[in-house]
Amino acid sequence: MTFVQIVECRTERPDELNRLMDSWIEMTEGKRTATHSMVGADREDARHVVEIVEFPSYEAAMRNSGLPETDRIFQEMVALCQEPPTFTNLDLVRDDQFLKNAARRMLVDPPTGDMSAIDELVAADYRDHDPTMEQDVVGPAAVKEMIENYRRAFDFSFTIDSQIAEGNQVCTRWTWRGTHIGEFMGMSATHRTAESTGMTIWRFEDGMAKEGWWSWDAVAMMRQLGMMPG
């Protein structure tokens, strides 16, 4: 079970504390078991510093605590604090990753005709980058028009294969499957079924998609439709 440790302290020397954390990362390279770490300063009181550290398990956290480098850094950390740091140990029981879910909705829902994800999650100045398109698609109305063009040409769907989120960006690896039911790039419906794989990276601001980058195997799709030699 994922384990999270919250470390709180008060210090008049936040810059030195930050440099100390950099030293710990450098000293424990290849040894530490932490998978994610965040440090924040209280907006109301910058002396109040909070570090949130994630580990794969409680046992992994204990191995990390047992490193000589960790003990040394902790002693130096205490010296920088006005009072001893406090620790809160948490077993993670729920982890809602809202941006991943937003990315999933923007892929899975529109092919069914449900454009609510576009209305709710695409910013007014959104810009879509796809090397198969002559120019960027800008704004939610243009995104919906592009999707409707595909829906007239294909009965299609996306399957989510994997997702990775970092900061305000989500990378989604997907598989697209569609049956050619209408004109596409000048070719009348063939009723053939095609499949393609690709990835999309979305950048979010305040929960809204601001930019998207697409990379997908258009050649494979066109070969399966008979638009290109195999």
Residue 145 has a pLDDT of 96
Domain boundaries, the chain: 3-91, 98-224
Q: In what order do the strands lie in the sheet with 154-166?
A: 137-138, 122-129, 208-216, 193-205, 169-180, 154-166
Same fold, 3-91 and 98-224: no
**Tens digit of each residue's pLDDT (9 = 90 or more) over 60-109:** 999 988 888 888 888 888 898 888 899 999 998 877 689 999 999 999 99
Q: In this prediction, what percent of the chain has a pLDDT beyond 90?
A: 62
Residue 65 has a pLDDT of 86
pLDDT in tens, 9-28: 999 988 888 888 888 888 88
pTM of the model: 0.72
Architecture in CATH of 98-224: Roll (3.10)
Lowest-pLDDT choice from 79-83, 145-149, 213-217? 79-83
pLDDT of residue 97: 84
Answer for the pair 181, 154: CB distance below 8 angstroms, yes or no: yes
* Average pLDDT over all residues of the chain: 91
> Angle of helix 68-80 relative to helix 58-65, nearest 10 degrees?
80
Q: What is the pLDDT of residue 94?
A: 73
Nearest alpha carbon to residue 85 among 4, 6, 3: 6
Which architecture does CATH list for 3-91?
Answer: 2-Layer Sandwich (3.30)
Comparing 26-30, 174-178, 194-198, the range with the smallest average pLDDT is 26-30
